[in-house]
């Protein structure tokens, strides 16, 4: 997964737009965030926002929630005193993502922004080969972290692994000869499924 800061230019379909003012501490620190947008481009998300003023702000954390889960920090941007910010997160995979900004004050206080949501639909060509094997199969495509399940003829999961890169090898040597079903899964979506024969 690549993460790049300070992107500029056209960022595709705009999903969310809002304007709000945030007060950090005791009425003294004030930050006004303008035009916070989240945009989808295939498997990538792009965020843009502008600040009209920054007082008493140490940094801004970018937080993401996947499919309704808890927010996690994906990047931290040092406060610049005001201006344009941009962030790009690539290779997330199909799903709905929410982003928010956490403004951290120099005095230790913080405030969360509203959320910006984006839905990603990824077109990935996942391949499983060979379909007849004495030992190993290879999975190409998909995203790192996708789950690979092997099921027996009764539907029981007998092997499990994760996609580790563009090409992932999986050993079936521990399985008895027979017919098995393999599925590559991302979240609650099946990206690819095949019937394989262990000889």
pLDDT tens digits, one per residue of 144-179: 788 999 999 999 999 999 988 778 999 999 999 999
Let me know if the fold of 3-120 is the same as that of 127-198: yes
Sorted by where each begins, the domain ranges of the chain are: 3-120, 127-198
For the 127-198 domain, the top CATH level (class) is mainly beta
Distance, in Å, from the CA atom of 3 to the CA atom of 102, rounded to the nearest integer, reads: 18
Rg of the chain, C-alpha, whole Å: 22
CA separation for the pair 150, 97 (Å, rounded): 28
What confidence category does residue 67 fall into, taking pLDDT thresholds of 50, 70 and 90?
low
What CATH fold (topology level) applies to the domain 3-120? Immunoglobulin-like (2.60.40)
Write the CB contacts of 80 (distance below 8 Å, at least 6 apart in sequence).
54
**More confident position, 22 or 96:** 96
More confident residue, 84 or 143: 84
Region 64-84 average pLDDT = 86
């Amino acid at each position: 997964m690549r993460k790049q800061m300070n992107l500029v230019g056209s960022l595709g379909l705009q999903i969310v737009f809002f304007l709000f003012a945030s007060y950090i501490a005791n009425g003294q620190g004030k930050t006004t965030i303008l035009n916070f947008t989240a945009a989808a481009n295939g498997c990538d998300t792009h965020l843009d926002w502008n600040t009209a003023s920054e007082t008493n702000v140490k940094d801004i954390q970018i937080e993401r929630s996947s499919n309704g889960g808890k927010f996690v920090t994906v990047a931290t941007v040092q406060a610049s005193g005001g201006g344009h910010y941009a962030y790009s997160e690539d290779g997330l995979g199909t799903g709905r993502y929410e982003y928010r900004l956490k403004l951290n004050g120099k005095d230790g206080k913080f405030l969360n922004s509203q959320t910006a949501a984006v839905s990603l639909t990824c077109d990935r060509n996942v391949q499983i080969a060979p379909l007849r094997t004495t030992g190993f199969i290879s999975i190409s495509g998909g995203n790192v972290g996708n789950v690979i399940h092997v099921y027996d003829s009764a539907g029981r999961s007998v092997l499990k692994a994760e996609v580790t890169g563009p090409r992932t090898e999986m050993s079936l040597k521990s399985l008895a000869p027979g017919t098995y079903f393999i599925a590559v899964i991302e979240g609650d979506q099946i990206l690819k499924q095949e019937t394989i024969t262990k000889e």
